């Protein structure tokens, strides 16, 4: 049997990523926020997006919970489903950077291998891994969703940090200490990195929206 892919050809567009980046006035890339539940990934991703958006950047946040209402609604939390969840978001993020935008992906993404697969699927420099470092004890104290309490009672199987492992990044581009620093401080660190690497033009510090982690 001939594989279906044998009859599927890639169509090359005349409007390229480079042209879109020139029109947008900034580089396109993926900001990948990883860390335990309660480490502040989504809050920080939206804070960074707010700053970038106010600066005129084309942005979109992919939130771990939100995508499971639609794109990944058919997936559970087994290791295989987690890997497929990250694969889909990786492919979606690739489309967004090809469109000239900045994709901010906030996912626990507990397995190093899955994150590295996404990194390997894009050009060098396109994948910026941000480790949101917060001790498990701090994440449990926050526990705004009550998930850790349920996991401790055995009501949620395969819960990262309790009954399923989290593999910390080996060499992330950015480590933000979300367990002890404010959202604003962490956002400033990320924006500073992007400016230093020439991904975006300088952003006024007062445009970074302050929020509580």
Tell me whether residue 163 is one of the annotated catalytic residues. no
Residue length, the chain?
A: 213
Give the active site residue among 37, 109, 164, 181: 109
Any idea which residues carry the catalytic annotation? Answer: 109
């Amino acid at each position: 049997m001939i594989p279906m892919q044998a009859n599927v050809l890639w169509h090359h567009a005349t409007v390229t990523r480079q042209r879109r980046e020139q029109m947008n006035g900034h580089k396109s890339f993926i900001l990948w926020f990883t860390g335990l539940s309660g480490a502040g990934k989504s809050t920080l991703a939206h804070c960074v997006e707010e700053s970038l958006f106010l600066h005129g950047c084309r942005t979109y946040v992919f939130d771990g919970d939100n995508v499971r209402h639609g794109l990944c609604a058919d997936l559970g939390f087994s290791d295989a489903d987690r890997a497929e969840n990250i694969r889909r978001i990786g492919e979606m993020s690739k489309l967004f950077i090809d469109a000239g935008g900045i994709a901010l992906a906030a996912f626990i993404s507990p397995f190093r291998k899955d994150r590295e697969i996404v990194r390997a699927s894009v050009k060098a420099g396109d994948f910026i891994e941000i480790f949101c470092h917060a001790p498990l004890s701090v994440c449990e104290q926050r526990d705004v969703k009550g998930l850790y309490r349920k996991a401790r009672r055995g009501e949620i199987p395969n819960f990262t940090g309790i009954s399923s492992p989290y593999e910390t990044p080996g060499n992330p581009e950015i480590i933000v200490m979300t367990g002890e620093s404010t959202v604003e401080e962490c956002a400033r660190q990320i924006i500073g990195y992007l400016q230093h690497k020439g991904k975006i033009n300088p952003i006024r510090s007062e445009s970074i929206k302050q929020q509580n982690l």
